[in-house]
C-alpha cells in the first residue's frame, strides 16, 4: 500500500504561512497528523527508501502513539501515531473532488479534526552527536471527503467563549481597535511588572519505544513500532539525565 491509501486526522497546520522551526534555523510550512496503526508500515517504507538495509530502530524518527505524547491530542485514539511533516515550500492542497485548493483558502477549508490524506516522503539527517534520523516532507494534503469532528485544539478550545458567554450584551458597542494606550500602565510601572512574549513550541522529550512486535526485527519482541529503540541511557541524546 501507499500512505495516501490511509485516512488520517489533521491535528493542526500552517499550510499558508512558513514559520520558524523548533531550532529557529529556517522557516517551514508544517502540519501534524494522526494515522491509524495500519499506516505504520507505509510510514516505515518511506524511511526505508532512504535508509535501505538499515534497521529502523537504530534511527531517530519521531513517531509515537498519541498515548505516549507529552500532551496527548484530545479526541484522537490512544494507539494512533502522530506524525509531523514540514517543507520549505507550501504544500499542494486538494479537495475531495481532486480540485486544487488555493493556499489562501487553507485556514477556512482545513481544520483540526478533519479527515485527510497525506502525500509525503522522508529525508535523512544527522544531528550534532552524529545520530542518523529521518523526518517527513509535507508535499500535499487532500480532503478525504469524510468530514471530521473539530478537535478541541485552538478556536475556543480553552473555554473562553463559554466563560464570557453570560456577560455578552448584544446591544453593546465594541471598543475602537485603534486604541494604543494601556489603561493599566501606571499600575504596572508601580509594581515593576513586565509582560513576556513568545511561547516556544512544546517538544516531545519522550523516547521512541512503543508497544508490541516489530516486523523489522532488531527491537524488543514486544514492540509493534518499527521505529522503537532500546531504552538505554543514551537512546535519546536530548533526554535529561536522571
pTM, entire model: 0.67
CATH code: domain of residue 114: 2.40.50.140
Domain count within the chain = 1
Asked if residue 135 belongs to a domain, the reply is: yes
- Report which of 142, 26, 32 is spatially closest to residue 88, judged by C-alpha positions: 26
- Report which of 136, 117, 164, 148 is spatially closest to residue 8, judged by C-alpha positions: 117
Least confident span in 5-9, 14-18, 124-128, 184-188: 184-188
Cα dihedral 202, 203, 205, 208 sign: positive
* pLDDT of res. 161: 59
Asked if residue 190 belongs to a domain, the reply is: no
Asked if residue 85 belongs to a domain, the reply is: yes
CA distance 233 to 241: 8
Say yes or no to pLDDT of 102 above 50. yes
Q: Percent of the chain beyond pLDDT 70?
A: 65
Average pLDDT value for the chain: 77
Asked if residue 15 belongs to a domain, the reply is: yes
Asked if residue 17 belongs to a domain, the reply is: yes
CA distance 206 to 238: 9
Mean pLDDT of 41-51: 97
Asked if residue 237 belongs to a domain, the reply is: no
Asked if residue 38 belongs to a domain, the reply is: yes
Q: Can you give the residue range of the structural domain that contains 36?
A: 3-143
Quick: pLDDT tens for 142-163: 999 999 999 877 544 455 656 6
Give SS3 for 221: coil
Asked if residue 204 belongs to a domain, the reply is: no
Amino acid at each position: 500500500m501507499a500512505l495516501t491509501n490511509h485516512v488520517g486526522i489533521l491535528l493542526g497546520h500552517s499550510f499558508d504561512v512558513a514559520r520558524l522551526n523548533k531550532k529557529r534555523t529556517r522557516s517551514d510550512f508544517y502540519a501534524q497528523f494522526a494515522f491509524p496503526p495500519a499506516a505504520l508500515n507505509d510510514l516505515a517504507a518511506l524511511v526505508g527508501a532512504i535508509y535501505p538495509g538499515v534497521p529502523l530502530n537504530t534511527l531517530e524518527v519521531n513517531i509515537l502513539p498519541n498515548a505516549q505524547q507529552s500532551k496527548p491530542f484530545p479526541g484522537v485514539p490512544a494507539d494512533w501515531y502522530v506524525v509531523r511533516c514540514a517543507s520549505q515550500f507550501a504544500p499542494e492542497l486538494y479537495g475531495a473532488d481532486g480540485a486544487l485548493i488555493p493556499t489562501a483558502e487553507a485556514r477556512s477549508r482545513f481544520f483540526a479534526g478533519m479527515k485527510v490524506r497525506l502525500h509525503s516522503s522522508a529525508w535523512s539527517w544527522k544531528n550534532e552527536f552524529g545520530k542518523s534520523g529521518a523526518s517527513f516532507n509535507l508535499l500535499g494534503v487532500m480532503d478525504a471527503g469524510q468530514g471530521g469532528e473539530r478537535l478541541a485544539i485552538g478556536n475556543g478550545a480553552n473555554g473562553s467563549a463559554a466563560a464570557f458567554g453570560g456577560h455578552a450584551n448584544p446591544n453593546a458597542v465594541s471598543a475602537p481597535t485603534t486604541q494604543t494606550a494601556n489603561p493599566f500602565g501606571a499600575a504596572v510601572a508601580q509594581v515593576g511588572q513586565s509582560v513576556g512574549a513568545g511561547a516556544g513550541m512544546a517538544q516531545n522529550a519522550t523516547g521512541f519505544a512503543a508497544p508490541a512486535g516489530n516486523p523489522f526485527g532488531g527491537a524488543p519482541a514486544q514492540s509493534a513500532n518499527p521505529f522503537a529503540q532500546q531504552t538505554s541511557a543514551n537512546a535519546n541524546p536530548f533526554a535529561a539525565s536522571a
